[in-house]
Amino acid sequence: MSAVTRAQAPNAPQKKELPPEAYRQAVDQADLAISITDPKANILFANAAFAHVTGYTPDEIVGQNESLLSNHTTPPELYQSMWRELSAQRAWTGKVLNARKGGELYLAELHISPVVDSKGNTTHFLGMHRDITEMHRLESLVLNQKHLIESVVDSAPMAFALLDQSGRIVLDNQEYKKLVSDLRVREPAHTLLDSLMPQWQETLAKRPEKCNFVSRESRIDRPAGRPRWLSVSASVIEMHSDGADSYFSTGNQSGLLLVISDITSLREEQEKARAAVLQAVLADEERTAAIREGLSAAIFRLEEPMNVMASAVSVLQRRDPASAGVLQQALAASREHMEMLRQVIPQSPQEIAVRINLNEILRDVLEICTPRLLSAGVMVDWQPAATLPPIIGRPLQLRMLFKALVDNAIEAMNIKGWKRRELSLTSAVERDCIVIAVMDTGPGIPHEWRHKAFEPFFTAKNGSGRHIGTGLSRAQQVVADHGGIIDLAESPSGGCAAIVEFRLDGDPI
């Protein structure tokens, strides 16, 4: 090194040597119990804090072995691992149970470092320990309280899930875990919030106070299972962040506590009563619709001969006015009777459009059609979307629509000797639409009939021995009234698939 680099700059502060005594004073006055031992743990030095913690004065303790502090309840394996580390000249940290001079026990967090000389021999050990009895007591208190809260929460008959502001589940209970396995959805809390508060993630992140609600009901549909009805309450709670960055700031964030109760049995009872009423209402409406259709068809068919009569009148008027007059009178009388008939055609009931869950409508239809499905030996594969956003619609008309489609499917498969009889019913959300598919494993509809099938009074019953039902024109009307579309296609089995699409923002007429 050159003299220039070694020389100190004229104004640089002078580097002072630390006097050896300063080391001793620093160690002696440190707030941590410090001891220095020989390689056999015999104490050579102990500072004032050591005396304060252990109760032994330096005079009493120097010359004693550190094992004097042992309460002899610390497991021997712990000392064995301690000495294994120290013998390998590695530092060791752990907790031991010590006894003070007066016999009082305290929990010590102990750190031991080997002091190694230039030849690589361990000459001393430096021991530092502090009394962590109070900290341990507080930790145990928190832990006990946590266990207590967990046991109370776990034994509660309702499911709990606590979400942090990012939507992560940070706490749940046994009932919630049961929901996870029963419902077979990725995260029931998210599924429920999606159905009850579609913008919940954004709201929870930006305006958590808007996320409180009480006892809102959600229906979860499961493939091949009965639907579950859950009542959900959500309350926003303040959560303290445990990150180091929040040590000096409040760092609080909002959490969302969901309390979920299963109200399926209650709802099933109500549903049973409702289904019975529905069945009666639907049967009544079907009868009325049949009368309406029968009368309309009769009038439609009578129009034809009457038109022929009208042409005959105009031809006869020149050649045989007398006969033309008689025929004219007969025609006028017939028209009058036709008009009377038209007036007695029963009108369809006026229904108010309400918020509707289509899964619920489909489930009702399956319930109502169960006796027919059973007697026709049809297996049902019900694959609903777990939750569906509501649409605005007329419940009775929609039930009639899907019942007509299911009836057609049953009829299509109910052919003597027809083996595969499966009805598949699916609901899904695709883009901005709810798509419902009613698929059968019957012989299917010939391509050329797919549009004709929607014409009023069209029936294939006599054409090919295959009856496709008479409700399709009415079904198309209901779908159109709800701003949707209906189409017939080939199902994967070669049978018929009726696909109905309703726009989520659709507005019924």
Sites of contact with ligand FAD (CB under 6 A): 35, 37, 40-41, 65-67, 69-70, 72, 74, 76, 79-80, 83, 87, 96, 98, 108, 110, 112, 125, 127, 129
Phi, psi (deg, nearest 5) at residue 379: -90, 140
Residue (69 or 378) nearer to ligand FAD, CB: 69
Residue (92 or 160) nearer to ligand FAD, CB: 92
Residue (84 or 420) nearer to ligand FAD, CB: 84
Residue (76 or 417) nearer to ligand FAD, CB: 76
Residue (83 or 300) nearer to ligand FAD, CB: 83
d(CA 8, CA 444): 101
- On whether the CB atoms of residues 82 and 111 are closer than 8 A, the answer is no
The three-class DSSP label of residue 456 is: coil
d(CA 202, CA 166): 9
Q: Shortest gap between Cβ of 122 and ligand FAD (angstroms)?
A: 10
Burial 380-407 (b: 16+ CB within 10 A, else e): eebebbbbbeebbbbbbbbbbbbbbbbb
Query: In this structure, what token pair is assigned to residue 403?
Result: 């019942």
Q: Where are the beta strands (DSSP E) in 242-366?
A: 252-262, 354-356
Q: Shortest gap between Cβ of 97 and ligand FAD (angstroms)?
A: 7
Q: Shortest gap between Cβ of 9 and ligand FAD (angstroms)?
A: 44
DSSP string, 81-130: HHHHHHHTT--EEEEEEEE-TTS-EEEEEEEEEEEE-TTS-EEEEEEEEE
Q: Which residues, including other chains, have CB under 8 Å from residue 156's CB and lie 6 or more apart?
A: 173, 175
Q: Shortest gap between Cβ of 79 and ligand FAD (angstroms)?
A: 4
Residue 391 DSSP class: E
Torsion angle in degrees (nearest 10) through CA of 418, 439, 369, 222: 120
Residue (78 or 376) nearer to ligand FAD, CB: 78
- On whether the CB atoms of residues 122 and 83 are closer than 8 A, the answer is no
Q: How far is CA 166 from the centre of its chain?
A: 15
Q: Shortest gap between Cβ of 118 and ligand FAD (angstroms)?
A: 21
- On whether the CB atoms of residues 424 and 405 are closer than 8 A, the answer is no
Q: Between 264-319 and 395-413, two packed helices, what is the crossing angle to 10 degrees?
A: 80
Q: Shortest gap between Cβ of 239 and ligand FAD (angstroms)?
A: 39
Q: Shortest gap between Cβ of 98 and ligand FAD (angstroms)?
A: 5
Q: Decide the pairing of beta strands 228-240 and 485-490.
A: unpaired
Nearest residue (beta carbon) to ligand FAD: 127
Residue (29 or 67) nearer to ligand FAD, CB: 67
Q: Shortest gap between Cβ of 78 and ligand FAD (angstroms)?
A: 9
Phi, psi (deg, nearest 5) at residue 442: -80, -165
Secondary structure element (H or E) that encloses residue 308, with its range: helix 264-319
Secondary structure element (H or E) that encloses residue 439, with its range: strand 433-440
Angle at 454 between CA 335 and CA 345, to 5 degrees: 30
d(CA 454, CA 478): 12
Q: Is 193 exposed, middle or buried (0-12, 13-18, 19+ CB in 10 A)?
A: buried
Residue (80 or 212) nearer to ligand FAD, CB: 80
Residue (44 or 290) nearer to ligand FAD, CB: 44
Q: Shortest gap between Cβ of 70 and ligand FAD (angstroms)?
A: 3
Q: Shortest gap between Cβ of 186 and ligand FAD (angstroms)?
A: 51
Residue (123 or 155) nearer to ligand FAD, CB: 123
Q: Shortest gap between Cβ of 53 and ligand FAD (angstroms)?
A: 9
Residue (46 or 356) nearer to ligand FAD, CB: 46
Q: Shortest gap between Cβ of 202 and ligand FAD (angstroms)?
A: 56
Residue (23 or 300) nearer to ligand FAD, CB: 23
d(CA 467, CA 421): 16
